[in-house]
Amino acid sequence: MLLHLRGSCHCGAVAFEVDSKAPVPFMRCYCSICRKTSGGGGYTVNILGEADTLRVTRGADTIRAYRAVKDKAAAEQVLCQKRYFCPVCASYLWAQADEWPQWVYPYASAIDSELPAPKSTTSIMLGSAAQWADPRELTADNEVFEEYPPYSLEQWHKGA
């Protein structure tokens, strides 16, 4: 299945398009780099895009990239993939690894097109997962709301 995807940042300064043969957002990465750079869920979700189809349709001159060091304590520093983001609103857009130049890895959160729902998910790098976000530690009795719950963060902590 080949899908043509459109994506953008939150503020609208950057927009892009990419084709994907693997558009199902099923893999959640809990490594410390993904956890710290991509948002509050404790993980990130990327999909696979064809690098030669990536086209920035708005804001190409504003995009910035960040390359994290894989292990800051190591004697020889190894950089990991580049993570491209909007410098205005800080939305992560896609990543690209030198080892696989034929692919880009759009952040599922940046895709505006409808993505297929995964039948199941895979969690990786759990050795780096924050305890509060580790799926092995979460219970199945989670509450779910279409919008905000009827209580505040403070009320929840007080046992609302």
The answer to whether 133 and 41 have CB atoms below 8 angstroms apart is yes
Distance from C-alpha of 158 to C-alpha of 150, rounded to nearest angstrom: 14
Give the per-residue pLDDT at 137. 79
Q: What does 119-159 look like in DSSP terms, one character per residue?
A: SS-EEE-GGG--GGG-TTT--S-----SS--SS-HHHHHTT
Higher pLDDT, 18 or 79: 18
Q: Which amino acid is at 107?
A: Y
Give the per-residue pLDDT at 144. 65
Give the per-residue pLDDT at 146. 67
Strand ranges in 3-102 using DSSP code E only, listed in sequence order = 3-8, 15-20, 27-29, 44-45, 49-50, 55-58, 64-69, 79-85, 92-96
Give the per-residue pLDDT at 135. 84
How large is the C-alpha radius of gyration of the chain?
Answer: 17
Give the per-residue pLDDT at 18. 98
pLDDT digits (tens, 9 = 90+) for 21-70: 999 988 889 888 888 888 678 899 999 999 999 999 999 999 999 998 87
pLDDT digits (tens, 9 = 90+) for 90-137: 999 999 999 899 999 999 999 999 999 999 888 888 888 888 888 887
- Decide the pairing of beta strands 15-20 and 55-58: antiparallel
140: confidence class by pLDDT, cuts 50, 70, 90 = low
Distance from C-alpha of 98 to C-alpha of 50, rounded to nearest angstrom: 14
For 5-21, letters b (16+ CB in 10 Å) and e give: bebbbeeebbbbbbbbe
